[in-house]
Structures are given as C-alpha cells and as structure tokens.
Amino acid sequence: MKIVIMEPLGITEDALQTLSMLLRADGHEFIAYENRETDTEKLIERVKDADVVVLANQPFGKEVIDACKNLKLVDIAFTGVDHVDVAACKERGIILCNAAGYSTNAVAELAFGLMIDVYRYIVTCDHETRNGGTIGGLIGHELCGKKLGIVGTGAIGLKVAEIGKAFGCELLAYSRTVRSEGLEMGIKYMDLEELLKQSDIVTLHIPVSPETQGLISRDMLALMKPEAIIINTSRGGVIDNEALADALKEGKVAGAGIDVYEEDPPLPKDYPLLSAPNTVLTPHVAYATKESLYKRAVIVFDNIRCWLEGNPQNRV
C-alpha cells in the first residue's frame, strides 16, 4: 500500500519515524510531506497514486479525490470533517476515519482561557502595564457563581462542564442528546432560546452541519443578556460573526472569545470582529498543543493499522 501524509501533522520527525516504523517494516510505501501544498494540480501529484491519504484540516475536495484512482482510505487527523468532500468519498466506497477525542482537553482548556481573558481583561492589562497604565477601568468578573451555558455536550462539552463545575459555575446546556453523564454532573438541559436568555457565559461545542450552520444568528444573539459573553472554539460557521460584531459594538453582548471563523486566518483587515470591543481572537489554535497533536498522530496510525487488519475504527 502507498500511504501519503499530504501535510504536516505537527509532531517531531523522531515521533513520525517511530509511529510509521511498523508500516514500513511490513513493506508499505510511506511518504510524509513537510509542507502544505495549496495548488490543486501539485496536490494531485502528491496523492494521485495513494491507497491511503492522511490529512489534517487542509481542504480535500472532489477534484483531488477523483484524481486518486487507487484511494481506499482517507484518514483525517482532525475531529471535524467538513473540509473533506465526504459525499465524493462515499460515492467511491472510500472509507473515512477521523481522530475524534484527541483534542478534548486542549479545546476545553482554551475555552476557559478565553473566558478568563475576556472576564479579566488580560490582554488589555498586559498592554496597559507595558505602557505605563494602571488598574483604572480594569475591574473584571469571576467565573464562580456564573451560569455557564454549554451548547453541545459531546466529549468536549462535557469536559467544559467538568471544569466549569470545578470553578463553581452553574451548568446549563442545550444539546441534541441529553447525556446521562451530564445529568449526573448537575447539568440542567433546556432549549437553546432559554439557555441564551439565562446564561452569563455561552460556550459553543458543536460541529458545523446544515442543521447548525448559522445556529447562533442575529435573532439568537438578541436573546442574550447584555452582560453575557460568548465563546466559540467549535466551528466558525455555527455563529454569525458579523451579527456578533454588531452586538458587541452596540453593547448587546458584553464580550467574546473567538478561535474559529468562516475561513482560517489570516483574516481580512476589514473582518468585523477585528474592530469589536472586549473581544479576544485566536487563530484557530484550540486543538493545537504538543500533547494533543501527538495523541492525534497515534490515533491516525492506529486507524491505518485497524483498517489494514479489516477492522476500521473511527469511521465517519
């Protein structure tokens, strides 16, 4: 089998060699590229003969998939798969696997980093301190006692609830599935509108899909308390960021911590959130820690091994 990792996985060369050792020992051809190729024709040259393609969050569309005549497995080193043409793969009978679970801790921890940053003005405090400023106007808020509204209680949402409980938050949630683990943790499940009305902090942990695209719309944002803040470490498409920027500028929402956008940064200079007040922006880094990227690589190679043994895991 020819196995091609078409973009870097964010691990060391030594780790890559160790993880791929058994595949190479079994006679499989293994190629790992050290950079991302954005030119479609050049990308096709990389992967056209592959039996297995491994990718992270680089788009993998129908034109490239159709050019891969031998392709049997797409191994996605990511949780979300909206950047891959799933329909084109399934039409060809190509198996898709993902790496769900690798970044649960990383994403949940950044969500709280953003909450604390927005609540305690950390970025602003740093700027003021470096420029001769003082505490003036930088009186923040505590997490303890706040109503934490979690949209989506999958693995990451439940981890956020666990951390929120440790901070002393009251846990609210909206989710397609009511989780017994969540109920045992003390989560109060409710509809989305009620969650938005009650929450001091709204944090999003849902995939983007036709059902969730634009879920947090202008009308939904209008339900939030003016002193509430919103955090998004899930997918940019689930929230109307232009409407959010307007709400922040008009004082209808008190603050925001945003890690994801309609497209990954660099953002256009006129992107609405860039000029929104009390907003902390990060460049889609929630999943990216050394620990999570290594876990991800382990899952990716396990996916290939299980597939070769006839028992594919983590199927999409």
In a domain, 151, yes or no: yes
Q: Which residues of 142-160 are buried (b: 16+ CB within 10 A; e: fewer)?
A: ebeebbbbbbbbbbbbbbb
In which domain, by residue range, is 88 found?
A: 2-102+289-308
The answer on 166 and 21 residing in a single domain is no
Q: Of all residues in the chain, what percent carry a pLDDT higher than 90?
A: 96
pLDDT band at 73; cut points 50, 70, 90: very high
pTM here? 0.90
In a domain, 313, yes or no: no
145 and 68 together in one domain: no
**pLDDT value of residue 80:** 86
Provide the CATH number for the domain around residue 210. Answer: 3.40.50.720
Do 96 and 40 fall into the same domain?
Answer: yes
Regarding whether 155 and 79 lie in a shared domain, the answer is no
Same domain, yes or no: 167 and 61 = no
What does the block give as tokens for 265? 């940064």
Residues 143 and 224 in one domain: yes
pLDDT digits (tens, 9 = 90+) for 143-155: 999 999 999 999 9
Whether residue 130 is found in the same domain as residue 259 = yes
Report helix, strand or coil for 3: strand
- Mean pLDDT, rounded, of the chain: 96
**One domain, residues 12 and 108:** no
Over residues 204-218, mean pLDDT: 94
Contact status, residue 37 vs residue 44, Cβ threshold 8 Å:
no
Alpha-carbon gap, residue 212 to 268, rounded angstroms: 24
Say whether both 219 and 151 belong to one domain. yes
* Cβ-contact 84, 96 below 8 angstroms: yes
Model confidence band, residue 213 (pLDDT cutoffs 50, 70, 90): very high
- Give the pLDDT confidence score for residue 273 in this predicted structure: 98
Q: Flag whether 205 is in a domain.
A: yes
Task: Give the chain's domain count.
Answer: 2
For 291-312, what is the mean pLDDT? 97
Do 72 and 215 have their domain in common?
A: no
Asked if residue 302 and residue 253 are part of one domain, the reply reads no
Nearest to 213 by CA among 197, 233, 236: 236
**Which whole number is the average pLDDT over 16-29?**
95
d(CA 234, CA 249): 23
Please report whether residue 314 resides in a domain: no
Identify whether the C-beta of residue 300 lies closer than 8 Å to the C-beta of residue 78. Answer: no
Separation between Cα atoms, residue 156 and residue 231, nearest integer Å: 13
pLDDT tens-place string over residues 166-202: 999 999 999 999 999 999 999 999 999 999 999 999 9
Distance of CA 158 to the CA centre of its chain: 15
Nearest CA among 261, 26, 113, 28 for reference residue 5: 28
- Give me the mean pLDDT over the 231-260 stretch: 97
pLDDT digits (tens, 9 = 90+) for 82-125: 899 999 999 999 999 999 899 999 999 999 999 999 999 999 99
Q: What is the largest CA-CA distance in the chain?
A: 66
For range 211-230, the mean pLDDT: 97
